[in-house]
Structure 1
């Protein structure tokens, strides 16, 4: 079992914050997070591209190349693998692993189960040590059908997924029932309106992701600060000093 996989088998769930650039990842690592994910929305928005449309393959690989050698374990949100060809998805996974990624998140977008199974199997065959977190969007994009969720996750487990992800699921009873039906760790997307991280751990959840929340809150804070200044108000909240942000970048030799 890899070091990253082991983080999914502890008594407390892995809280995985999601970064969108070098500074955000370095700042999170400085706060003691031993594993960090990327957020596809943050990567896409920073590049002026749509999220979830397979348009960010190059931007995602570029970010992985910059983050992959950091002092943390890196998991990459690869949307649906940036292709409907399992071989191309496997090649993207190879490149991400070569960049230093130890995990990959693959979403089904409520598309074909057979195709997603083929993608998972291709990635595991190409990079056996890469932790594949197979996401289903039955709650995120669909109506939360429990039987359909179980059907999809069962197929993804059989294909070799190391963990499964169900964003949008916040009901404690349904989470507990799903944990009991699974043979691999369950990943839940944190929601302010859902259970706290400790409660999710008590339910059996082994990984809690923050998704795009940090990116969106950072953007929201920037907008609030600009609005306060324009209105003649002193900005509220906190911000790291210039030298603290500068210190997040590797020092260059003279």
Structure 2
């Protein structure tokens, strides 16, 4: 299949991480402290998780309810010394110009990347959003997610058609959560021009196998948030049962050291 040439994207520090010797292992934070703690652990970039941001705010995920919370978190983190990628669901709007305005707001506060998903809506809808964002903010790395394996049946032809459309619209990377078979990953990589992002799963292949298959970005999604929530529940249940919580936890002073100074 012959595809139209992709627009040339600026080579930013964040974009370069997708073309390094090792794939980008991208942890996802849900608030200010978790993002700063992950950056302090030496991760070169940190992303947000829409589920975690929604849960912290007491709002539903994946229904465009967290635009302001997402922007507020980006505002607090974007100017800090870390490369931040924001999970913006479908851009919080079906109007490409409105999505582009949101992208400009993110970029203005220092955000390096933006994740946009199709939710299995017609491919042209997300392609139009991608094109509008890249026209408005060419240096913002746009990662285009298709949900063919996450919400659909993993149809190969549909996946390829959607990813072709998103690459042609200017996407800098493409994301196929739910795709875990190394052979399928390798076949998809051979088809793509853009770096492939996959989602790590504790029940799937290890990071090394995903890397060997050609994935250039491996996201942790909501896993860290769900793991932290699970640890809190186990600790509370253990204390109630008379047990001392096990496992390391940051001290009060270590957490406050992550926070911004009083204004």
Instruction: Say which of 121, 125, 145 aligns to 1:115.
Output: 125
Q: Which residue of 2 aligns with 1:224?
A: 234
Following TM superposition, by how much is the alpha carbon of 1:151 offset from its aligned partner in structure 2, in angstroms? 0.7
Q: Which residue of 2 aligns with 1:153?
A: 163
Following TM superposition, by how much is the alpha carbon of 1:251 offset from its aligned partner in structure 2, in angstroms? 3.4
Q: How many residues align?
A: 253
RMSD: 0.9
Superposition misfits of 4+ residues, deviation over 4 angstroms: none
Q: Which residue of 1 aligns with 2:204?
A: 194
Instruction: Say which of 231, 247, 250 aligns to 2:257.
Output: 247
Q: Which residue of 1 aligns with 2:55?
A: 45
For residues 48 and 248 of structure 1, what CA distance do their matches in structure 2 show?
Answer: 23
Contact 1:117 1:159 in 2 (8 A): yes
1:64-143 to 2 correspondences below 5 Å = 64-143=74-153
Contact 1:13 1:197 in 2 (8 A): no
Instruction: Say which of 190, 204, 207 aligns to 1:180.
Output: 190
Whether 1:211 and 2:218 are equivalent positions in the alignment is no
Following TM superposition, by how much is the alpha carbon of 1:250 offset from its aligned partner in structure 2, in angstroms? 2.9
For residues 200 and 71 of structure 1, what CA distance do their matches in structure 2 show?
Answer: 29
Unaligned runs of 5+ in 1: none
For residues 45 and 83 of structure 2, what CA distance do their matches in structure 1 show?
Answer: 4
SS at match of 1:153: helix
TM-score (ref. length: structure 2): 0.94
TM-score (ref. length: structure 1): 0.98
SS at match of 1:7: helix
For residues 109 and 200 of structure 2, what CA distance do their matches in structure 1 show?
Answer: 28
Unaligned runs of 5+ in 2: 1-10
For residues 58 and 255 of structure 2, what CA distance do their matches in structure 1 show?
Answer: 24
Contact 1:33 1:72 in 2 (8 A): no
Task: Decide which moves more: 236-245 or 11-20.
Answer: 236-245
Following TM superposition, by how much is the alpha carbon of 1:214 offset from its aligned partner in structure 2, in angstroms? 0.5
Instruction: Say which of 12, 15, 36 aligns to 2:25.
Output: 15
Whether 1:60 and 2:79 are equivalent positions in the alignment is no
